[in-house]
Structure formats: C-alpha cells, structure tokens
Amino acid sequence: MNKATLNVVMLIYPNMTQLDLTGPFEVFSSFKELQIHLVWKDMAPVRDVNGLAILPTVSMAQCPQADILFVPGGAGQLPLMEDEEVLTFLRGQAQTALYVTSVCTGSLILAAAGLLTGYRATCHWLSLNQLAFFNVEPVNQRVVIDGNRVTGAGVTSGIDFALSLMAEVFGTERAKLAQLRMEYDPAPPFIGGSPAKAEPELVAQVRELTCSFQQQREQIAKKVAAKLIQP
C-alpha cells in the first residue's frame, strides 16, 4: 500500500454482536498504518445484544472515506437491512473503498445495500443460505476472499477474517506477527464448534432454539432482496 494511513471504517449499531467487531478491532490495532473509526448515526453509546456499551468515535455525517469498510453482524442486523440511512452510508463508503468486508450476518447488511451482488461470500452457518436471495453465492468457509470483498463466517471467525485481510494488505509475515502477539492459537475445549463437527442432536437443538428468530431474519431478507433485485 502506498498510503501512509488507511481509514478503517467499522460500523457499530444497537444489538450487534460485539465479538464480531472487537475480534477484528484487536487485530487491526496491531497495524500502525490503520486509523480505526467506530461509526454510528450519532455519538451516543451503542449497546450490543448483551448490553455492552461501545462508544462511537465519529458520526456517519462526519466519517472520513473508508479504505477498509467493515460491518459486524448480530440481531440488530434485521432493522438495518431496511434502514435506508445506513444502507446509503455503506454504498457511499464502498464506492472508493479498497476492501468491503464483514463478519457473521454483517454480510447480509452488505447484501441488502447491494454491495455483494455477484460475489462469493460467507455468513453465520444458520443464515448462510440467505445470501442467495441477493444473488450472492454462499460459501461455507471460515473466510472468503472474492476480489476486494472479504467476509468472515460466524462470530469467532472475526480474528481469522482480520488476519487474512491483513495478510492481503500488508503481507503474510506481518499478519503472522500480529497473530503471535495476540497468542492466537485456538485449542477449543470441545470438538463441535461448527455444524460439520458437532453432534447432530446439538445442531438440531441450536436450530430449534433459534428457529423463531431465524424465520424472522429470513422473512426480512427475502423482502429486502425482492425490492433490491426487481427490474
């Protein structure tokens, strides 16, 4: 990269999943060339889905143009898919961004803005199929890179996503340094953190527990997609 400073614009919003944001934030913070901006409509504290308060650093109206645009996921993704102020902001930021990125269901917000049409992308496993409503090719991978679109799967993939992106931007060696600094050496206590590895009864239990919300998410995704792709 030739620019001395790259603007990383990270959207925050009510009822997001904070780890979608804070995992990548930790990785990005290792690179002095990155100027990170946490942006929302105003400067009031934003609470994640579990009540953790995060302070914006800039409002949408005052936000600089992104070199890297990032959108996290979470339950608050549903209203944002129909929030024209947010979608217009993302479209404007994406016009000149070097990378347009997301983690988890943040990809559905990007899709609702028309920013993933024709691309390959990933999402949380429970919602992965919904990308297809937007003429996006769903890919069941931890991180998907398609041109300048970089997407991460569910929640904990945010660190993998950010390290992969940093390898694209600054090279593998610097990304490996950041990984070591963080002691990112996953050794989960249980095998089964994905539906491919978990016991079928656990997968069924998660699907049952989230069924009502997932139906709501799918209805909104179909509704928004129908408006987006109509002639």
CATH of residue 81's domain is: 3.40.50.880
Q: Considering its fold, how many domains does the chain have in total?
A: 1
DSSP per position, 132-199: GGGT-EE--SSEEEETTEEEE-STTHHHHHHHHHHHHHH-HHHHHHHHHHTT-----SSS-SSTTTS-
pLDDT at residue 2, as a whole number: 55
Q: pLDDT by residue (tens digit) across 90-134?
A: 999 999 999 999 999 999 999 999 999 999 999 999 999 999 999
Strand partners, 102: 71, 151
Residues assigned a catalytic role:
104
Examine residue 60 and state whether it is found in any structural domain, yes or no: yes
Examine residue 1 and state whether it is found in any structural domain, yes or no: no
pTM of the entire predicted model: 0.96
| Percentage with pLDDT > 70 across the chain | 98
pLDDT at residue 229, as a whole number: 77
Examine residue 56 and state whether it is found in any structural domain, yes or no: yes
Query: What is the residue range of 56's domain?
Result: 6-229
Under DSSP, the state recorded for 213 is: H
Q: pLDDT by residue (tens digit) across 14-29?
A: 999 999 999 999 999 9
